[in-house]
Amino acid sequence: MADDTALRFVQLADPQFGQFARFSGISDTEIEQFQQHKLNVKKAPSIAHFENETKRFTSAIEHAIEINPAFVIVCGDMINTPGAADEVAEVKRIASGLPASIPIFWTPGNHDVCSDTVRPTDESIATYRADFGDDFHSFHHGDSSFIVLNSCVLQRPENVREEFDRQMTFVESTLRSARSRGSKHIVVFTHHPLFLDHAEEPDDDLPFAPSPPNQEPGYWTIPLERRMPLIELFRQYAVEAIFSGHWHRNNYTRDGEMLMISTGAVGYPLGDDPSGYRVVELSDGGVQHSYHPLNV
């Protein structure tokens, strides 16, 4: 039974407008290659529209309106083609259906903020900010503090070292401020999971999560050398949970008491989990969450 005093929010991940078209009409050989990498790409006739994404994201927004949460957070990959104005416009058109009482927050994904879908640049970050606002920021609701990070800068900072340094400074100062204001809950949102098994896992691919074809090992997570400084800060300031997307399936792990939750895609599923959304509640009892299929 839901706690009426809990702070409730809805987490979405990877609506990724354009991905159904991307995976449509491809060859059996390419499909087999994806499936060998544990990516459940299915054979489909070629399309060039957003009908599947529109149906799913609209359903997710409608469910959010029924739930009436404190806010909605989208953990990245709102679009599939970096900088695609038509994809951005459709995402924002549907999101505008939320009433003013339910704010929506955006988290940058690699398809949103990296011109090559892997490495951010100053120019690609500027494009993202023009479309969706700040790529890292914080907000508060009641006695809870929330931090949104640009995990693409954390994963591949080689072209944006100043942005990486600026974000790390922001993380520490924001955590310190959250504790000084007496926040009962601190929650972080990223696109990439920091880890999929345990905090100190190596950068090599895990057997259950190989990188996609033609991508370097460790595609799904943050490299250890940049992951651990974050983990240490999160431990120090008692972050309760990190919510992410990117893997297009659900994954649940933890570091001590800190939850590391990857949420399945609103859009194209790449594992066994159907398209869906997550409802999260923060209360004196901690963090409760549940994943709900969209049934579309």
User: If residue 150 lies in a helix (H) or strand (E), which one and from where to where?
Assistant: none
Check whether domain 7-293 has CATH 3.40.50.1100, yes or no: no
Side chain identity at residue 63, one-letter code: H
84-132 confidence digits (pLDDT tens) = 999 999 999 999 999 999 999 999 999 999 999 999 999 999 999 999 9
Tell me how far apart the alpha carbons of residues 254 and 211 are, in angstroms, rounded to a whole number.
21
Q: Please list the alpha-helical segments (H only) found in the chain.
A: 19-22, 28-36, 51-67, 85-95, 110-113, 122-132, 151-155, 161-180, 224-236
DSSP states of 45-68: ----S-HHHHHHHHHHHHHHHHH-
Burial of 235 (0-12, 13-18, 19+ CB in 10 A): middle
226-280 confidence digits (pLDDT tens) = 999 999 999 999 999 999 999 999 999 999 999 999 999 999 999 999 999 999 9
The arithmetic mean of pLDDT across residues 48-75, rounded, is: 98
Parallel, antiparallel, or unpaired for β 137-141 and 144-148? antiparallel
202-237 confidence digits (pLDDT tens) = 999 999 999 999 999 999 999 999 999 999 999 999
pLDDT > 70: what percent of the chain? 99
Tell me how far apart the alpha carbons of residues 169 and 187 are, in angstroms, rounded to a whole number.
17
pTM given for the model? 0.97
* Residue spans per domain, the chain: 7-293
pLDDT > 90: what percent of the chain? 97
Tell me how far apart the alpha carbons of residues 165 and 242 are, in angstroms, rounded to a whole number.
21
Residues 6+ apart with CB under 8 A from 128: 108, 112, 113, 135
Residues 6+ apart with CB under 8 A from 23: 41, 42, 44, 268
- 73 touches 107 (CB < 8 A): yes
Question: What 3-state class would DSSP assign to 226?
Answer: helix
Q: Dihedrals φ, ψ of 223, to 5°?
A: -55, 150
Tell me how far apart the alpha carbons of residues 128 and 121 are, in angstroms, rounded to a whole number.
11
Strands laid side by side in the 104-106 sheet: 104-106, 71-74, 7-12, 276-283, 286-293
Any bridge partners for residue 189, and if so which? Answer: 148, 243
- Region of 101 (left: φ > 0; alpha: ψ -120 to 50; beta: rest) is alpha
Tell me how far apart the alpha carbons of residues 240 and 15 are, in angstroms, rounded to a whole number.
25
